[in-house]
């Protein structure tokens, strides 16, 4: 195990393996098209390598109250003011180690408060009198970044810490103006999407040397396929990240290959909280399926369900942007009041739709996996998979949109006979049976 301050990459530098090349590539900072990369669910809880003892996972101390965590008073006031009374399980485990500046790799169920967990941890070390960017959080989508920003604003309400949201879709000049050298009000916490963050690094508007902490939310997604190269570029040698910057990697899912990559980033007395795939199957959410003979019968089934089921808000997942638009047209044509969201929509439209959904003005939202991750709308009680996700790990992200923070939730897969095998694979992946939809439609346990 390397201790804080121990050089890991030559001159105390951090870098992902193979991350030394400077590539001038900026990928779009959104996730939408499903990535085909199905990996067996085995052994995610096993420490993959390296810094910690492989055979003896650490027993993590839990702090049962925020008061017992020795947090700055103005942060504590923000926590209670934001409405958090007691820490959730993940918060009980990660806040103090993060505050103690340990690198962290943590897998936490969707909707269990991981945003608060990493934010409170890093905020505990921030100093309002230091006029520089002290910490950053990277998230794969603008929507998620926006949501983290909202929580950060809430938690810092008494701290006087300046929080800034830097995402694609907004003009970069606005970021540059805020970060301008010589400004007396430089943001101290920056929440960003990877593309914009990389751009700001390249323009030397932000400097790794000022960062005490860098958090990657939905880390498995940021370290996989579409974003991997972007993250490599961000962490590549020219930018000179050192072990002075604490790293936090958070996700609801973590497949072994990604966990192994993630581990190469950890250096400061790392804390690892990983779970088995079965453990992340969201006990609070009742999972059902409805089988139809042929694909063209799915729409009828969906419309019948929409008529008969009780729910506060509902998300219907499909796999492609075209499918989202087509399904929205078809349901609207049958008199249903539905909207859709996907990754190639204009940033303003996406924000408008997400805001309306959060405010409850939209009750049924058809979505691609763009909002399958991390997005927290507490009133979603029902998730319908009109198409099963191509990547198994997205199933948990999708159904995790319901049943937020202990509320009741249900998910229904509408499948035709050809998709039965795919569903069985998902069941095997999570070690859970998905039940047949009951005739009485009494779906909330
Ligand atoms: P997250 O998993 O971070 O998306 O959080 C899910 C939901 O739980 C959000 O609506 C949070 O506001 C809420 N939440 C997080 N931590 C707490 C807490 N300690 N007490 C009450 N609600 C919380």
Q: 134 in ligand 1 pocket by Cβ < 6 Å?
A: no
Residue 42, pLDDT score: 24
* CATH number, position 415: 3.40.50.300
Q: 113 in ligand 1 pocket by Cβ < 6 Å?
A: yes
Residue 275, pLDDT score: 73
Residue 9, pLDDT score: 38
Residue 12 lies in a domain: no
Residue 99, pLDDT score: 98
- Our measurement of the distance from residue 425's CA atom to the centroid of its chain's CA atoms, rounded to an integer in Å, reads 24
Q: Are residues 215 and 329 in the same domain?
A: no
Residue 18 lies in a domain: no
Domain hosting 319: range is: 282-436
Q: Are residues 296 and 263 in the same domain?
A: no
Cα 1 to averaged position of ligand 1 atoms, centre (Å): 32
Low-confidence residues in the chain, pLDDT < 50: 1-11, 18-54, 278
Instruction: State pLDDT tens for residues 369-392.
Output: 876 665 677 788 899 999 999 888
Q: Are residues 166 and 241 in the same domain?
A: yes
Q: Are residues 131 and 250 in the same domain?
A: yes
From the alpha carbon of 79, which atom of ligand 1 is closest? 19
Residue 224, pLDDT score: 83
Q: Going by CA atoms, what residue is nearest to atom 11 of ligand 1?
A: 113
Q: Point out the domain boundary residue: 258, 275, 292.
A: 275
The preferred substitution site among 88, 358, 371 for testing ligand 1, maximizing ligand atoms within 8 Å of CB, is 88
Residue 10 lies in a domain: no
Q: Are residues 129 and 256 in the same domain?
A: yes
Residue 98, pLDDT score: 98
Q: For tokens 């899912």, name the residue.
A: 253
Q: Are residues 199 and 318 in the same domain?
A: no
Q: Are residues 347 and 392 in the same domain?
A: yes
Residue 27, pLDDT score: 41
Q: Point out the domain boundary residue: 275, 302, 319.
A: 275
Q: Are residues 55 and 103 in the same domain?
A: yes
Q: 236 in ligand 1 pocket by Cβ < 6 Å?
A: no
Q: Are residues 173 and 287 in the same domain?
A: no
Q: Point out the domain boundary residue: 275, 297, 324.
A: 275
The preferred substitution site among 68, 119, 405 for testing ligand 1, maximizing ligand atoms within 8 Å of CB, is 405
Q: Are residues 203 and 296 in the same domain?
A: no
Residue 55, pLDDT score: 53
Q: Are residues 61 and 79 in the same domain?
A: yes
**Count of structural domains within the chain:** 2
Q: 92 in ligand 1 pocket by Cβ < 6 Å?
A: no
Residue 3 lies in a domain: no
Residue 14, pLDDT score: 64
Q: Are residues 403 and 295 in the same domain?
A: yes
């Amino acid at each position: 195990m390397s201790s804080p301050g121990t050089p890991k990459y030559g001159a105390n530098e951090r870098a992902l393996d193979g991350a030394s090349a400077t590539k001038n590539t900026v990928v779009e900072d959104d996730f939408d098209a499903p990535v085909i990369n199905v990996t067996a669910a085995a052994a995610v809880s096993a420490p993959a390598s390296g810094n910690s003892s492989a055979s003896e996972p650490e027993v993590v101390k839990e702090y049962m109250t925020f008061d017992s965590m020795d947090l700055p008073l103005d942060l504590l006031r923000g926590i209670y003011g934001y409405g958090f009374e007691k820490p959730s399980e993940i918060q009980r485990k990660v806040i103090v180690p993060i505050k103690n500046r340990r690198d962290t790799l943590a897998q936490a169920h969707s909707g269990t408060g991981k945003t608060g967990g990493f934010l409170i941890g890093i905020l505990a070390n921030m100093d309002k009198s230091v006029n520089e960017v002290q910490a950053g959080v990277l998230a794969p989508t603008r929507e998620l970044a926006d949501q983290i920003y909202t929580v950060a604003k809430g938690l810092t309400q008494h701290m006087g810490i300046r929080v800034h949201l830097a995402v694609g879709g907004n003009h970069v000049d606005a970021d540059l103006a805020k970060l301008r050298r010589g400004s007396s009000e430089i943001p101290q916490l920056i929440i960003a999407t990877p593309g914009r963050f990389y751009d700001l690094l390249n323009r030397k508007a932000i400097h790794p040397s000022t960062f005490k902490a860098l958090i990657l939310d939905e880390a498995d997604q940021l370290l996989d396929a579409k974003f991997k190269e972007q993250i490599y570029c961000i962490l590549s040698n020219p930018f000179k990240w050192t072990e002075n910057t604490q790293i936090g990697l958070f996700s609801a899912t973590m497949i072994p290959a990604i966990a192994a990559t993630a581990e190469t980033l950890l250096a400061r007395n790392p804390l690892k909280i990983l779970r088995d795939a079965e453990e992340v199957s969201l006990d609070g959410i009742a999972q059902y399926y409805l089988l139809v003979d042929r694909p063209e019968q799915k729409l009828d089934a969906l419309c019948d369900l929409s008529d008969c089921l009780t729910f506060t808000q509902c998300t219907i997942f499909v796999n492609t942007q075209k499918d989202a638009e087509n399904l929205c047209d078809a349901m609207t044509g049958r008199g249903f009041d539905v909207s859709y969201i996907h990754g190639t929509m204009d940033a303003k439209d996406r924000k408008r739709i997400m805001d309306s959904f959060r405010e409850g003005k939209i009750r049924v939202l058809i979505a691609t996996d763009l909002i399958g991750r991390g997005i927290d709308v507490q009133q979603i009680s029902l998730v319908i998979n009109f198409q099963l996700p191509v990547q198994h790990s997205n199933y948990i992200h999708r159904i995790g949109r319901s049943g937020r923070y202990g509320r009741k939730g249900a998910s229904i897969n509408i499948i035709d006979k050809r998709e039965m095998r795919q569903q069985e694979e998902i069941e095997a992946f999570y070690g859970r049976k998905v039940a047949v939809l009951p005739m009485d439609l009494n779906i909330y346990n």
